[in-house]
């Protein structure tokens, strides 16, 4: 799709034509640019690299491209062109932001983007677009991210059925209807909007998704006892590793003698173990409620 823009600078559709995910992507790109500009001005090059990695790897490649797949491959020609235009516009500017950190890779991609064109070294630094910042859209999209992440995690726990679904109270229809197609595609579940979670059909477990009361279907073949045993064993493993990490970080000898990179890696590991432990505890709580 991006090849359609070779030979010319990608352009954006009008604000009225942009989808929720496109408005979110542009808002996050603007936030990334502000962070990178500030980090470079203050000679915090590691912070600039981290901001770019977070945006390009997670927000652009993980969420934005996943959201746009339907329009890029299945929509009308006009919609495909508009969707490709937004992605290309952000990618082209992201390459310019990345160039000081990844010069050879970005030059190679730049030349594929515009074969026969000038080097990315001669390209101007991207200008800021404060009008793209949209805190409301970012809040709404974060709910979609949270719901998708939680559903995927719990689906890995109980399994997917032939008619898997998630249900959220109908009072949240205005919030979820605009992202229904994306939510169903990203989770593999059908979204049901009921007047009450108590109306949920068949076998299900009650939970909260993105802070909203919800229910999720559970396949008939799912057995709660072995799942609980596996989660409890995993929690014991995580807690043992967490205790080791805490002891290490509480050791003054390690903190004073180890390289800064090693200490930072241990702190990152500690944070990841803490987050995993909390997630596993929540899964155990869900399974205990489901099995009771």
CATH of the domain at 73: 1.10.730.10
**Domain end point (choices 190, 217, 244):** 217
Q: What is the mean pLDDT of each run of 10 residues along the chain (292 residues)?
A: 49 79 94 96 94 94 85 76 86 95 93 79 93 92 88 90 88 84 88 78 85 89 93 97 96 92 94 94 90 67
Confidence (pLDDT) at 115: 60
The tally of domains found in the chain comes to 3
Residues 252 and 154 reside in one and the same domain = no
**Domain end point (choices 191, 217, 243):** 217
Note the pTM of the prediction, 2 decimals.
0.78
Range of the structural domain that residue 96 is part of = 2-133
Q: Please, what is the Cα angle at 7 between 6 and 9, to 5 degrees?
A: 85
Confidence (pLDDT) at 134: 94
Collect contacts of 97-106 with beta carbons under 8 A, ≥24 apart: 97/32, 97/33, 97/36, 97/52, 97/126, 98/52, 98/56, 99/123, 100/40, 101/45, 101/48, 101/49, 101/52
Cα 172 to Cα 208: distance, rounded to the nearest angstrom: 13
């Amino acid at each position: 799709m991006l090849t359609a823009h070779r030979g010319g600078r990608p352009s954006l559709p009008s604000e009225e034509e942009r989808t929720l995910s496109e408005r979110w992507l542009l808002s996050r790109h603007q936030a990334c640019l502000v962070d990178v500009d500030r980090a470079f001005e203050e000679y915090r090059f590691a912070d600039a690299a981290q901001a770019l990695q977070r945006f390009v790897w997670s927000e652009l490649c993980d969420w934005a491209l996943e959201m746009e797949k339907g329009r890029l491959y299945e929509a009308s020609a006009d919609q495909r062109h508009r969707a490709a235009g937004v992605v290309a516009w952000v990618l082209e500017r992201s390459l310019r932001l990345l160039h000081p950190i990844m010069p050879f890779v970005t030059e190679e991609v730049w030349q594929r983007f515009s074969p026969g064109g000038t080097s990315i070294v001669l390209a101007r630094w991207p200008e800021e677009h404060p009008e793209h910042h949209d805190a409301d859209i970012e809040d709404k999209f974060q709910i979609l991210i949270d719901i998708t992440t939680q559903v995927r995690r719990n689906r890995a726990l109980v399994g997917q059925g032939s008619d898997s679904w998630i249900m959220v109270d109908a009072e949240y229809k205005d919030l979820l209807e605009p992202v229904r197609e994306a939510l169903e595609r990203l989770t593999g579940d059908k979204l049901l909007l009921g007047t009450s979670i108590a109306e949920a059909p068949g076998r299900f477990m009650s939970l909260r998704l993105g802070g909203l009361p919800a229910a999720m279907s559970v396949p008939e073949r799912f057995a709660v006892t072995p799942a609980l045993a596996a989660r409890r064993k995993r929690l014991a493993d995580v807690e043992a590793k967490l205790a080791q990490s805490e002891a290490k970080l509480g050791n003054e000898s390690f903190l004073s003698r180890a390289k800064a990179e090693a200490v930072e890696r241990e702190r990152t590991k500690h944070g990841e173990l803490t987050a995993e432990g909390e997630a596993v505890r929540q899964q155990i709580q869900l399974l205990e409620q489901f099995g009771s």
